[in-house]
Amino acid sequence: MSELSQHTYEANGIRMHTAEQGDGPPVILCHGFPELWYSWRHQLPAIADAGFRAIAPDMRGYGETDAPPRIEDYAHEQICADMLGLLDAIGEQRAVFVGHDWGGAIVWALALHYPERVRAVAGVNTPFAPAGPTSPAEARNANPGRWDYQLYFQDPGVAEAELEADVERTFRLTFRSSDPADGFDVLAGSHDVRARGGWLAGYPADAPRSVMLSAEELDYFVQTFRRTGFRGGLNWYRNQEVNWRWARTVADPKIERQALMVTAGKDPILTPDLASHMEQWIPQLSRGHIEQSAHWTQQEAPEALNRILVDWLRSLPATR
């Protein structure tokens, strides 16, 4: 088995940190909030063993990758440019892109706006849908529903103060699995965050860590976010209007690339039904489903996800 290595590249004007394993055609793994390259720690060796070069960056604003100061620095167009810059830095014209949570939104955007740089694309939990006539920000203000937490995240400094007050508690409560032993899932309370007074308000401060994480794994996230804070990641939520306008610039929002959608049966926010109509926009769509997984699929159900990803990657045409 090849060894995990870590690198720093210049990409789109920032320094980008990656963890990599394997040789062969590149597969770039994009994480979401509040995560790190480390969220893909179980996938890197499996993808490498299948004959690919697995690359998991700390996305813009996270970990050892630069975190520019302005909110507008975290728009999707800018983050997609980071991924194109990473491709240039590693000397590749194209890659397979796999994304989870916000990383999923980025990989679908890459396939839509820059298909010539995308060999194939996969979303884990995060579905694709074209931009509608009404901006998401406007729709969510009118009827927040499960997206209430995103409205709570809008005011700079508010969520940062809550999440950074006790980083260990933040991750102990936020990273929960669907296993009954975990007792509750903070994401299931996403609909009334503002009414409760915060993302973690009302949950037991002394709850043990999730059964899906070892003490060492939890500590990796805690130590990193104690150093970086949450501002960079939260700024991704503060560009919804800009992102919507950029998505609307694509006249025919179809993705003409081989694609994979992996749904998770117990995710309370990115529920499988949100992905039910993707074939009308993605003709070459394959599907995988993991019933016994909540939101943090790479960490809760790594073996099941690895099987789905590796089988799909091996099914792709051999051209690089």
User: d(Cα 48, Cα 211) in Å, to the nearest integer?
Assistant: 26
Q: Which of 101, 148, 182, 267 is labelled catalytic? A: 101
What is the Cα gyration radius of the chain?
Answer: 18
State yes or no: is 192 an active-site residue: no
Q: Which of 17, 31, 113, 295 is labelled catalytic? A: 295
Q: Which of 62, 203, 237, 267 is labelled catalytic? A: 237
Torsion angle of alpha carbons 140, 278, 242, 18, nearest 10°? 110
DSSP string of 21-62, one letter each residue: E--SSEEEEE--TT--GGGGTTHHHHHHHTT-EEEEEPPTTS
State yes or no: is 166 an active-site residue: no
State yes or no: is 149 an active-site residue: no
Q: Report strand pairing: 285-290 vs 258-264.
A: parallel
Of 189, 235, 230, 185, which is closest to residue 210 (Cα–Cα)? 185
The set of catalytic residues is: 101, 237, 295
